[in-house]
Structure 1
Amino acid sequence: MTTFVRWGILSTAQIAQDELLPAYMDAANAEVTAIASSNPKVKDMALKFSIPKVYESYDELLKDPDIDAVYIPLPNALHSHWVKRAAEKGKHVLCEKPAALTAGEAEEMIEVCKKNSVLFMEAFMYQFHPQHQRVKEIIASGEIGELKIMKSSLSFYLEDKAGNIRVKPELGGGSLYDVGCYCIHSIRNVLSAEPSRVYASMKKNPDSQVDMSVVGVLDFDNGVTALFDAAMDRTRIDYYEIIGTKGSIRVPNAFVPHFNNGEALIVINAEDGKYREEKLIGHQYVLQVEYFSRCVLEGKIPNYMIENTIQNLNVIEACFESIERKTFVNISSSHSKITR
């Protein structure tokens, strides 16, 4: 019986170099056997990470019968094409977030994967860190009482904007797609609920007209309100907080605890001013790779994650619609038809 998945990597993207390739090296059930790129530095990457095969084109890699799955860290606007191409070649797909630019596009991608009997998962790596499950357990225990507000924030300062794919609208750039998607996903994930309406606003780069920052309000039918802000033009902020009638939970390194060697801190504040801390350690990129590789080996379909992909994009589309209409927008199960 096969005990590991043979992976191929499409492109020399920075996130692959910094996070995923080291994670594959540490994963117990995965091995990178090929990488493809026309970038000359691909050979140096292959040498650094002991990758035996190097291809000059993505299509060449996808034709390799010895590859079981591929990781796609390409610009957002290219995800749909290459996910479909990989699926048609029988490769399971782990695709960087956001998986697509619209919910409809994601549905098409997923249908192609199903038609070709391959698994698909969007790479929201943060959710594999054990701190988030622990937060859900604390909420379920009733320790902070009835939930009222959740806040989620993620930002960084993009220094070199010239030529960066994050500020290219034709490649699906912008803060909502790049970091806002994490804030929205974390709200839906931690609250285990879907918002019924959304309001959002954004500030754009005057040259590219790509959004550099976005703020939003998500309303839930159970009475909870969630606030989020995301940006590429200010200092790094990375946290979420849940406030209830009896206390609150703050997660100060919600999305990138690997900066602290995987250690994450949860701070629980009581109504009387007392607080306690819990520390959890988890290497979320490794856990993500191992989870999806396990799904491939066991033939297990990560259904709830597929639904999460579509629902997250529904909310993102509603945010764009709210920005254009300058009002609250109801979120339906079908994606928005708005043209951007």
Structure 2
Amino acid sequence: MSIDAFLEGFTERDWQEIDADGSERVRFAMVGMGWWTTEEAIPAVVGSDFCETTVAVSGSVSDPSEVEATDVERAIDYEEFVAGEAADAYDAVYVCTPNAMHLDHVRVAAELGKDVLCEKPMEVSTERARGLTAVCEEEDVALMIAYRVQTDPAARRARELLRDGVIGEPVSVHGGMSDEMLSFVDDPDHWRLDPELSGGTTMLDIGIYPLNTTRFLLDAEPVSAYGRTRSDQPEFEGVDEHASFEFEFEDGVLLTGSVSHSACEESHLRVVGTDGQLLLDRIFFPGRPRELVVEREGTRSHVTFDQRNQMREEFDYFAHCLLTETEPDPSGEHGVGDVRAIEAVYEAAERGERIEL
């Protein structure tokens, strides 16, 4: 089969079953009004098809007019959130607070009967991640972990091509991500530099992207892990600045790569197979022009797709699941898998040997 035949017939929103006519919408409470929520999440929801932001939960925002979204009705603090204030004004919550606070905020939402979209990493330890999943199961609310790459048309197209055998059998994967954290985190007391709040690891923050995306693309799980970490600058005392990793998957595929909080902004994931290779370039940063490149039989093809807003796709997908009473994916158990695998990387770095999962 020619590569052109492989590239035909892709539906970008392969999950959508109902019309986006605005007649049905999920109302969100945004829990945590840091820069990611205000600059990425809320603007994405403003232009979404199936949801809207109606409540802001924050320790600093006290008036709806402070939020740049016309549909925000109420601004409440965390104590009011716990007390159930404005609970009738939202259907679901988006939890985007420091990692170690996710469990507590998800528990409040679940006990209020609200479905949950929780940012990654879902928590700072496997134990707390499992507790987060358990509380949602106990309260019978939907839980989705916010792996926005999984709803990006480029990643979904790549997974479809791999399933169709466009590059043969996958043999190895290389992934990486880097940024200059200190350029946007200028406060030494910022939670990302606090190991108790962040989990203390570059892998939990950005290494989770190549790991989780590989799990998604291959539909496979890692069986062992190895890694190394280091920190050079004094600002990273207690948290690592750079990390390298290797995961062996259940089918023998190796994922290798590195992440850094002190390097130029870059991200990629390359899958090498028996008959070709597939590259997702700049895939982990929202708002960046992403590329999907396929090489096969001496032909290099740039696959076309709509450059959709990753956050908007994520919110619309989750809302669509709620409206159609469909179980959202990735699940809490899926998120637990990443936290456990990343813990193994740090155990391996400390012990100097590969850790079986």
Give, as a single letter, the amino acid of the residue that structure 2 aligns with 1:280: F
Residue deviations 1:135-171, cap 9 Å, x none?
1222233332222110111110112362322211111
Residue deviations 1:291-315, cap 9 Å, x none?
1112222332226523311211121
CA shift at 1:277, angstroms? 0.8
Moved more, 282-291 or 52-61: 52-61
CA shift at 1:329, angstroms? 0.2
Report the CA distance shift for 1:234/1:82 in structure 2 as closer, same or farther (over 3 A). Answer: same
In structure 2, C-alpha distance between the alignment counterparts of 1:47 and 1:144, rounded to whole Å: 45
| Residues 183, 229 of structure 1: 8 Å contact kept | no
CA shift at 1:10, angstroms? 1.5
SS at match of 1:269: strand
Query: Unaligned regions of 5+ residues in structure 1, if any?
Result: 332-340
CA shift at 1:174, angstroms? 3.0
SS at match of 1:154: strand
Residue equivalent to 1:216:
245
SS at match of 1:259: coil
SS at match of 1:197: strand
In structure 2, C-alpha distance between the alignment counterparts of 1:177 and 1:153, rounded to whole Å: 13
Residue deviations 1:58-83, cap 9 Å, x none?
53374323221111110001111111
In structure 2, C-alpha distance between the alignment counterparts of 1:176 and 1:164, rounded to whole Å: 18
| Residues 36, 42 of structure 1: 8 Å contact kept | no
In structure 2, C-alpha distance between the alignment counterparts of 1:46 and 1:78, rounded to whole Å: 22
In structure 2, C-alpha distance between the alignment counterparts of 1:303 and 1:171, rounded to whole Å: 26
Q: Which of 99, 111, 114 is equivalent to 2:137?
A: 114
Report the CA distance shift for 1:133/1:43 in structure 2 as closer, same or farther (over 3 A). Answer: closer
Q: Which of 150, 155, 163 is equivalent to 2:178?
A: 155
Q: CA RMSD in A?
A: 2.1
In structure 2, C-alpha distance between the alignment counterparts of 1:18 and 1:304, rounded to whole Å: 24
Q: Does residue 202 in structure 1 map to residue 225 in structure 2?
A: no
In structure 2, C-alpha distance between the alignment counterparts of 1:153 and 1:113, rounded to whole Å: 32
- Provide TM-score, normalisation by structure 1: 0.89
Q: Which of 297, 301, 309 is equivalent to 2:323?
A: 297
- Provide TM-score, normalisation by structure 2: 0.85
Residue equivalent to 1:280:
305
Give, as a single letter, the amino acid of the residue that structure 2 aligns with 1:277: H
Query: Unaligned regions of 5+ residues in structure 2, if any?
Result: 1-22
Report the CA distance shift for 1:187/1:167 in structure 2 as closer, same or farther (over 3 A). Answer: same
Residue equivalent to 2:96:
73
Give, as a single letter, the amino acid of the residue that structure 1 aligns with 2:269: Y
Residue equivalent to 2:28:
7
Report the CA distance shift for 1:312/1:60 in structure 2 as closer, same or farther (over 3 A). Answer: closer
| Residues 286, 311 of structure 2: 8 Å contact kept | no
Alignment of 1:297-336 (within 5 A): 297-302=323-328, 305-331=331-357
Q: Which of 155, 158, 168 is equivalent to 1:135?
A: 158
Q: Report the identity percentage.
A: 26
Give, as a single letter, the amino acid of the residue that structure 1 aligns with 2:278: I
| Residues 219, 226 of structure 1: 8 Å contact kept | yes
Residue equivalent to 2:208:
181
SS at match of 1:106: helix
| Residues 184, 228 of structure 1: 8 Å contact kept | no
Residue deviations 1:189-227, cap 9 Å, x none?
111111111101111354522011111011123221111
CA shift at 1:47, angstroms? 5.0
Residue equivalent to 2:15:
none
Moved more, 232-241 or 246-255: 246-255
Report the CA distance shift for 1:286/1:169 in structure 2 as closer, same or farther (over 3 A). Answer: same
Residue equivalent to 2:168:
145
Q: Which of 246, 259, 270 is equivalent to 1:230?
A: 259
Residue equivalent to 2:218:
191
CA shift at 1:48, angstroms? 4.7
Report the CA distance shift for 1:43/1:132 in structure 2 as closer, same or farther (over 3 A). Answer: same
Residue equivalent to 1:34:
55
Residue equivalent to 1:335:
none
Report the CA distance shift for 1:227/1:12 in structure 2 as closer, same or farther (over 3 A). Answer: same
Q: Which of 118, 121, 129 is equivalent to 1:95?
A: 118
| Residues 12, 42 of structure 1: 8 Å contact kept | no
In structure 2, C-alpha distance between the alignment counterparts of 1:114 and 1:245, rounded to whole Å: 41
Q: Does residue 64 in structure 1 map to residue 86 in structure 2?
A: yes
Report the CA distance shift for 1:329/1:283 in structure 2 as closer, same or farther (over 3 A). Answer: same
Give, as a single letter, the amino acid of the residue that structure 2 aligns with 1:19: E
In structure 1, C-alpha distance between the alignment counterparts of 2:329 and 2:292, rounded to whole Å: 28
Give, as a single letter, the amino acid of the residue that structure 1 aligns with 2:132: M
In structure 2, C-alpha distance between the alignment counterparts of 1:53 and 1:5, rounded to whole Å: 16
Report the CA distance shift for 1:38/1:307 in structure 2 as closer, same or farther (over 3 A). Answer: closer
Q: Does residue 51 in structure 1 map to residue 72 in structure 2?
A: yes
Q: Does residue 166 in structure 1 map to residue 195 in structure 2?
A: no
Residue equivalent to 1:82:
105
